[in-house]
Structure 1
Amino acid sequence: MENRLIYADRTLSDFQNIIDEYGWIVYEGALTPDFIDEINSDLAVAHVLRRDIQVKNGISANMDGTLHHLLERDNFALSFLDNMYCNEEIGWFLGGNYILNGINAVVHARQEHPYLSNMHRDVRTFMKETKLLVQMIVTLDDFTMNNGATYFLSGSHKVDVRPDEAYFYEHADRAIAPKGSIIMFNSNLWHAAGENKTNGLRRALTLGFTKPFFKQQMDYPRFLGYEFGKGLSPQLRQVIGYNARTPENLDEYYQPPHLRMYQRDQG
């Protein structure tokens, strides 16, 4: 079974079968070249701000090229989430409504070794049948063998066993994909960023989506503002987490159902 499809030709049944067998799937041709350029331009600005904070707070080691929490009012993120690539697939995987857990990026350059280069999986507790988190990589440059295309140990999402690292790198598949592709994968899958041996950058967005009761990496509704959220589309309010908030006082708690911070359809 091939796990590489054209985004426009995808079907839910393909996703169901491939994500079960391999644990990951590639959709080529998802983003337009213009949108990729817009994202990369925004990342250049975002990188400077985040790197300054990492250095100021003394946590810059091994974080070269890592950009966290890119959901802002005036960059690409709202447009990306309002389109919501793979919405049906994510909803199926998580069993209904879902929210954004994190929207981050990696700008991987030659001789940089961020923590993402270590073999890892992104959930600490293995729950084979209970799916809490699904992840997405958006390729903003071509992913090649030479520039560090991600390693995925296909099928490793099915068992609660940490693979030997030598075995991992000998048997893992590589996510070779052109820029503008979307890679979806089960959070139980063991994976690692490869080494960039070129003089160019390998840029990518990394997003996670969870069931609504799962705590977000950042309180995005509070960060953007509750008033700001009132002007967003229903799709954005759901994905960003406005329908799955925690009240901070009794007045917010004691509200009629349609005004409650945590809506009844969130599971």
Structure 2
Amino acid sequence: MKDDLVKLGFCKFENAISQEWVGKINNALPKIFEEHEKMRRENNNPISSNGLAMNALVGNEILFDFLQHIIDLKILDWIEENYFNAKCILNSFTALSNIPGEDKVFHKKVHRDIRGFSSDVPLMLNMLVMLDDFTTENGATLLLPSSHQNSEVPSDEDFMKNSVQATGVAGDIIIWNSNLFHASGTNTTQTVRRGLPITFSLPFYKQLLDYPRAIGYEKYDVFNEKMRRILGYDARVPGSVSEWYSPSDKLLYKN
């Protein structure tokens, strides 16, 4: 798998998640999507999809439990050892439903999930947990092999000609170098195709959401040491010189 991640920019963990976990998350998603759509409308946010919940982790205990499950499965250990060669933290945690016929939301466009191009620096990594079977018909994610090695943005024509679809079954996990160009495919079926796009980054890279602040600094002791680190509680920025000089056991920047 490591060779594929290095050469192609992506690899797959087959049957990584049990069907029990797949079912529990899928049962929770309708309410999550509804809450996020309501929030977007109230805030006049331009995202116009009821199949997208950005930063879905916050406020949803089932997703916290699932993130802990990913940790317990040692998948993050593998990623830290074979990709980052260092400790990493959560950068984003999203829930996504590829709705039939929907083509205008941002994740349908050819893109990479990292600003700029980090070259050989393993700054960020994408993880996609498949919650339904990913097929050609329901718009399995399109990946452009080896594009993580090139700073140039491919044309839409070249991308469609040379990309491959990340097909798989519910419970599979695919990961890719965040320099890799990708896009959601078009769902031509009559049913949704669900997944959890999650990203991890080196601790100094700014999170998409300030998870410790959003979850609550007072909840630090609720989580075990590994979960606290992954959530970013040990990679915070001091807010004053006094905080900078905190005693060792109170430091905010332990990573």
Whether these two folds match at TM > 0.5 is yes
Q: What is residue 205 of structure 1 aligned with on the other side?
A: 196
Q: What is residue 116 of structure 1 aligned with on the other side?
A: 107
Q: What is residue 87 of structure 2 aligned with on the other side?
A: 97
The CA distance in 1 between the partners of 2:159 and 2:165, in whole Å, is 11
Amino acid aligned to 1:28: E
Q: What is residue 52 of structure 2 aligned with on the other side?
A: 66
**Are the equivalent residues in 1 in contact too, given 2:33–2:50 (CA < 8 A)?**
no
Measure how far apart 1:251 and its partner are.
4.3
Measure how far apart 1:88 and its partner are.
2.3
Normalised to the residue count of structure 1, the TM-score between the two structures is: 0.89
Q: What is residue 88 of structure 1 aligned with on the other side?
A: 77
Measure how far apart 1:197 and its partner are.
0.5
Q: What is residue 38 of structure 1 aligned with on the other side?
A: 24
Measure how far apart 1:55 and its partner are.
1.4
Distance 1:247 1:155, change over 3 A: same
**Are the equivalent residues in 2 in contact too, given 1:64–1:112 (CA < 8 A)?**
no
The equivalent position to 2:221 in structure 1, one of 230, 246, 262, is: 230
The CA distance in 2 between the partners of 1:161 and 1:45, in whole Å, is 40
**Are the equivalent residues in 2 in contact too, given 1:81–1:239 (CA < 8 A)?**
no
Amino acid aligned to 1:70: A
Q: What is residue 151 of structure 2 aligned with on the other side?
A: 160
Amino acid aligned to 1:90: I
The CA distance in 2 between the partners of 1:246 and 1:144, in whole Å, is 42
1:259 aligns with 2:245: no
Measure how far apart 1:60 and its partner are.
4.1
Q: What is residue 8 of structure 1 aligned with on the other side?
A: none
Distance 1:61 1:230, change over 3 A: closer
**Are the equivalent residues in 1 in contact too, given 2:34–2:50 (CA < 8 A)?**
no
Count of paired positions: 250
Identity, % of aligned positions: 31
Partner SS for 1:76: helix
Aligned ranges 1:135-214 → 2 under 5 Å:
135-214=126-205
Question: What stretches of structure 1 of length at least 5 have no aligned partner?
Answer: 1-13
Partner SS for 2:206: coil
Amino acid aligned to 1:69: N
1:20 aligns with 2:6: yes
The CA distance in 2 between the partners of 1:43 and 1:64, in whole Å, is 11
Measure how far apart 1:19 and its partner are.
0.3
My pick for the range that moved more, 56-65 or 124-133, is 56-65
Q: What is residue 221 of structure 1 aligned with on the other side?
A: 212
Structure 1 stretches of 4+ moved >4 Å: none
**Are the equivalent residues in 2 in contact too, given 1:151–1:191 (CA < 8 A)?**
yes
Measure how far apart 1:28 and its partner are.
1.5
Partner SS for 1:183: strand
- Once the two structures are superposed, what CA deviation does each residue of 1:63-118 show, in whole Å capped at 9, x if it has no partner? 34111112235422222222325212321312211100000011111122221011
Partner SS for 2:94: strand
Measure how far apart 1:154 and its partner are.
0.5
The CA distance in 1 between the partners of 2:47 and 2:13, in whole Å, is 33
Normalised to the residue count of structure 2, the TM-score between the two structures is: 0.93
My pick for the range that moved more, 67-76 or 43-52, is 67-76
